[in-house]
Amino acid sequence: MVAGNNKQISVLVSSTFAFTICFAVWMMFAVLGIPIKNNLGLNETQFGLLAAMPVLTGSLVRVPLGIWTDKFGGRIVFFLLMLSSVVPIYLIAYATAYWHFLVLGLFVGLAGGSFSVGTPYVARWFEKERRGLAMGIFGAGNSGSAVTKFVAPGIIAAFGWQMLPKVYAIAMLATALLFWFFSYTDKSHQAPAGVSFSEQMKVLKDPRVWRYCQYYSVVFGGYVALALWMTKYYVAEYGFDIRHAALLAACFSLPGGVLRALGGWISDKFGAIKVTWWVMWVCWVCFFLLSYPQTSMVVKTVTGDMTLNIALSPLLFTVLLFVVGIAMAVGKASVFKFIGDDFSDNIGAVSGVVGLAGGLGGFVLPIMFGALVDLTGVRSSAFMLLYGTVCVSLVWMHFSFKRAPARAPALAAAM
């Protein structure tokens, strides 16, 4: 019989690995969508919809999956979820029309719901003072986005884009089996049998849930949207080929995923309020700089015209994205630290609702990115939109915690 502490580690490792593969699959259109876009002659808005389609279902299923995890246990729900996505992933290799990809993308998106299964499943194996770190380590599976950027371009270049879905389908099946053999079930972690769906959803009346939804739509929704958008952005804005563009985009995706564990530790140490507050300010500054479009202007001087060119070089652009990735990684963990502390008896339902809000942000934002580019012709308009969402979070945080006396000192210290 495996000792309790070893079970904790086994559950954490197997769940994190499974979530990493699920996230890699969920984000595959970030790279796969580029050759599909070229083959089908899609515009920017159509590409945004294609890339975001898996995010829609991966978001919508998060609430029921979180509730089922509370009711039936995370192990069985996680395992069946992974199995359900294998066939749709494989069928993408045989899609030929735009609507084929959209429909299959909806079914592939089920893999993205794994977050709302793994979070409560892992959290309940750890005591409260270590829960933030545990959830942060599990959340580091977001680095699956970077895995896709490292792996997918090479597979596409060597064997064609049709091979990528086949490889991912096999990987998902193997991961589901590995997870089943290395994870465990503890029936004491399940919600009492008499708890109804309506009772679990009473948390929606709590204003804190909606506040955390907004924060998460920025740090997670923004992360997903940029992870889907940045490879194509580098190709279109700076002229890189798909391999170099994906590698540079991974400079955002990798820290945005891996460092979530660090965010969990920082949140345990300094508190969710202070950490989230500073995350929003770092994003605010970076998005302001990233928003500025490449500009040429003529200044009239006493000696004649002086031409000024203002633009972010690929290096500076990547550095700013890297900083944003770190901030979002920390922010994703700090928001779930709020949930672990405030709703420890109903983590599944609350994490499902908050995850739904973050996922919907990841679905809507890429479509809006594409629409803004089609309407304005300015690619940096994507960062202008994100800058606005961060402003909303900062204002909401300021007034929310200003009215909460118990937490006001912590926010005042952060400010």
Tens-digit pLDDT profile for the chain (415 aa)? Answer: 345 578 888 989 999 999 999 999 998 998 999 999 999 999 989 998 998 899 889 888 887 888 788 788 889 999 999 999 999 999 999 999 999 999 999 999 999 888 888 888 888 888 777 777 787 788 788 888 888 988 999 999 999 999 999 999 999 999 999 999 998 887 766 656 555 656 666 666 777 888 888 888 889 889 889 988 999 899 988 989 888 999 999 888 888 777 877 887 888 888 888 888 899 999 999 999 999 888 888 888 888 888 888 888 999 999 999 999 999 988 888 887 787 777 766 666 777 788 788 888 888 899 999 999 999 988 899 999 999 999 988 888 877 766 554 444 444 444 4
Q: What number of residues does the chain have? A: 415
Q: List the domain range (segments joined by +) for residue 321.
A: 4-414
Q: What does DSSP say about strands 304-310 and 295-301: parallel, antiparallel, or unpaired?
A: antiparallel
Q: Extract the tokens encoding 56.
A: 């829609």
Give the pLDDT score at 413: 46
CA distance linking residue 21 with residue 168, whole number of Å? 8
* In contact, 88 and 104? CB cutoff 8 Å: yes
Give the pLDDT score at 201: 64
* In contact, 179 and 15? CB cutoff 8 Å: yes
Number of domains in the chain: 1
Helix (H, G, I), strand (E, B) or coil at 300: strand
- Nearest to 139, CA basis, from 227, 251, 262, 281: 262
CA distance linking residue 82 with residue 90, whole number of Å? 13
Give the pLDDT score at 228: 87
Strand partners, 398: none
For the chain, report the end-to-end CA distance as a whole number of angstroms: 50
Ramachandran class of 117: left when φ > 0, alpha when ψ lies in -120 to 50, beta otherwise:
alpha
Angle at 257 between CA 251 and CA 260, to 5 degrees: 125
CA distance linking residue 234 with residue 116, whole number of Å? 31
Q: Extract the tokens encoding 95.
A: 């899609």
Residue 189 is given by DSSP the state G
- Nearest to 323, CA basis, from 285, 271, 358, 359: 285
Give the pLDDT score at 193: 58
Give the pLDDT score at 210: 84
Task: Report the amino acid identity of residue 303.
Answer: T
Cα–Cα separations (whole angstroms), residue 391 to 213, 289, 398: 15, 14, 11
Helix (H, G, I), strand (E, B) or coil at 29: helix
Give the pLDDT score at 348: 67
What contacts 186, CB < 8 A, 6 or more positions away?
A: 73, 124, 125
User: pTM for this structure?
Assistant: 0.77
Check which CATH number belongs to the domain holding 110 and give it: 1.20.1250.20
Give the pLDDT score at 405: 47
Task: Report the amino acid identity of residue 185.
Answer: T
Give the pLDDT score at 324: 94
